[in-house]
Copies of this chain bind each other. A is one copy, B any other.
Amino acid sequence: MTTLPSDLAYVPFVSVENMMALVHHLGVERMLCELADVIEEDFRRWELFDKTPRVASHSDVGVIELMPTSDGDKYGFKYVNGHPKNTKEGLQTVTAFGVLAEVDTGYPLLLTEMTLLTALRTAATSAMAARHLMPKDARTMAMIGNGAQAEFQCLAFKAICGVDTVRLYDIDPAATDKAARNLAGRGLSVVSCRSGEEAMEGAGIITTCTADKQYATILTDNMIGSGVHINAIGGDCPGKTELHRDILTRSDIFVEYPPQTRIEGEIQQLDPDHEVTELWQVITGQVPGRTGDRQITLFDSVGFAIEDFSALKYVHQKVRDTGHYVMLDMIADPDDPRDLFGMLARSQ
């Protein structure tokens, strides 16, 4: 009788190093485009997913969340933290990993880093939403908040929405310098700005992505002209918002999953019955997205489990094709499934 684990005992694992290799192998813009497409496909199937607001464990300094969902065939979840104070300690604000599993057996199919993958899927989701909501002729995006997510947003809007100019602003000029440096030579016209107002000049798309809880009004009402699309990423937990309330009441608001967005998004500032549109209904054509040139559209994005599910499925397929994984001995799988103790005893 063998004591070696069977093939079923092994789970493919994608390390940070392998994820980076996969991104380079595919090309970051191609990967953003393909992620946008698989996420949009799953938004079209929205109704058949098991949906639940994420399961959050809050502390004074941050939050740890589990984000599960299932389409009945596969199950996925992401572990993700949010600790704004981490940056000052040399740590990431957000780190993540995730698992894809087979519903029929409950066995994991994939374990993967998701810090990078979350940055990619967040940018892909933003741009996917924008292609349904933005003014058609917009080619300039204001990028407010130049932290870890900024370059991914800029490249996703270039690749997916045809943006050719990004106007960067951050309260810390060093962050803007970092983003400008990283975006150099990637086919975008990059303008570093000294104020939010300056960044907004000529921008048909405004993306806000700031991390710190203490700067709670990144955009004020007078900064926002008519006809723009606002892509609000940073307001993503209770007590953390980026937009002044008056902007919200002037906008048509689109969200991922209302029960979660009402707790975590910009709309936590509004009445619980304030009208919002679910993005999946725009994508399936059930309700209109942008209806006029002067309309302000606002994607109040907090990130939803289905986006991670799509990304997990995508990576699962891509790493099988490219070999960017190792096998982990993570599941005890004795020859006789009832003989777990025997497997243990024989391993001595």
Contacts and interface: CB of A to CB of B under 8 A. Distances in A.
B337 A93 contact: yes
A113 B52 CA distance: 26
Contact of A178 (B19, B152, B333, B339): B339
A87 B338 contact: yes
A168 to B, nearest CB: 13
> Chain A binding site: helix, strand, loop or mixed by DSSP?
mixed
B340 A116 contact: yes
A331 B95 contact: yes
Interface in A58-80: 59, 61-64, 66, 68-70, 72, 75, 77, 79
Contacts of A61: 103-104
A248 interface: no
Contacts of A113: 329-332
A159 interface: no
A24 interface: yes
A135 to B, nearest CB: 27
Interface residues of A, number: 86
A218 interface: no
B79 A329 contact: no
21 contacts: A5-B16, A5-B17, A20-B343, A20-B344, A24-B347, A28-B344, A55-B55, A57-B70, A64-B106, A66-B66, A66-B68, A79-B99, A86-B337, A90-B335, A92-B334, A97-B108, A113-B332, A115-B331, A146-B338, A182-B339, A182-B341
Given A62-B105, A77-B79, A95-B107, 13 more contacts: A19-B332, A20-B343, A24-B348, A59-B72, A89-B105, A91-B107, A97-B108, A97-B330, A113-B332, A148-B341, A178-B339, A178-B342, A182-B339
